[in-house]
A = this chain, B = another copy of it.
Amino acid sequence: MDAVRKDIYNSEIPDFCRDCGARLGGVCGALTPEQLTEFSRQTSRKVVQPGGELHGQGEPVHSYANILKGVVKLTKIMPDGRQQIVGLQFAPDFIGRPFSIESEFSAEAATNIEVCALPKAALEQFVNNISNFGHRLHKQALNELDDARDWMLTLGRKTAREKVATLLHLIATHIAPDKSEVLHFELPLTRQDIGDFLGLTIETVSRQMTKLRQEKVIHVENNRTITVHDFGRLADIAGIDG
């Protein structure tokens, strides 16, 4: 780490960050190369398997993380076991409630994920010393708030059919490789996860997926690989736009 390699194009950026997909987005986009170096010294890359917990509901938050790859689900669970996913996060989102208090939900890997974790103390140091850093976190919170409110409309007022279409639309816009009319992607969620996100049972989710398949709105392979034939049609069914 002392002998920093340099090249013409990325002269000051630390090795550690050079190949990172999240470098320009999320909180890291706020950092100068020197700050990035300092940042990278305090963080550690972690790989987490599906189902692995980043933090549990009711636990104090002691660590934060930047998602580099994969999907993280935020879930709430009631004492009797009923479960609700209250947020999905994709690269380069930031995980963890700043100004701690204990977490009101658990954060769990939905797919294989790769994160850049940093301890609470480091986060606080960055917030205090880097002017843009707090601002970036604020913006992320506002985005999550907008997403949460969109989803409240989905949960409260949409039919099962619209809900499933809305979910597919959401996933597609976040992880599909291109923005053409025909989209192709891997579902990062199980049917159970989808049910828990939409406030439905797995059976209802399955039935609605089957219907969309029969109507040729989507094509499904191996239960997880989805092709959307007509993105506009999907948005229409989801009740998005006017």
Interfacial residues, chain A to chain B (CB-CB below 8 A): 74, 76, 78-80, 82-84, 86-87, 97-99, 104-105, 134-135, 137-139, 141-142, 144-146, 148-153, 155-158, 196, 198-199, 239, 241-242
A83-B157, A198-B156 known; A141+B145 contact, CB < 8 A: yes
Of the residues B99, B134, B141, B151, contact of A152 by C-beta under 8 Å = B151
Inter-chain contact A157/B104, CB cutoff 8 Å: no
Q: Output the least CB separation between A229 and chain B (Å).
A: 24
A78-B239, A104-B146, A148-B148 known; A86+B141 contact, CB < 8 A: no
Q: List 8 A-B contacts (CB under 8 A).
A: A76-B149, A78-B153, A82-B157, A99-B142, A105-B149, A137-B138, A144-B145, A156-B196
Q: Output the least CB separation between A222 and chain B (Å).
A: 27
A139-B99, A148-B148, A239-B78 known; A156+B199 contact, CB < 8 A: yes
Contacts of A86 in B (CB 8 A): 149, 152-153
Contacts of A153 in B (CB 8 A): 76, 78, 84, 86
| Given A78-B153, A78-B157, A148-B148, 10 more pairs with CB closer than 8 A | A76-B152, A79-B239, A84-B152, A86-B149, A87-B149, A97-B142, A134-B138, A145-B148, A155-B156, A156-B199
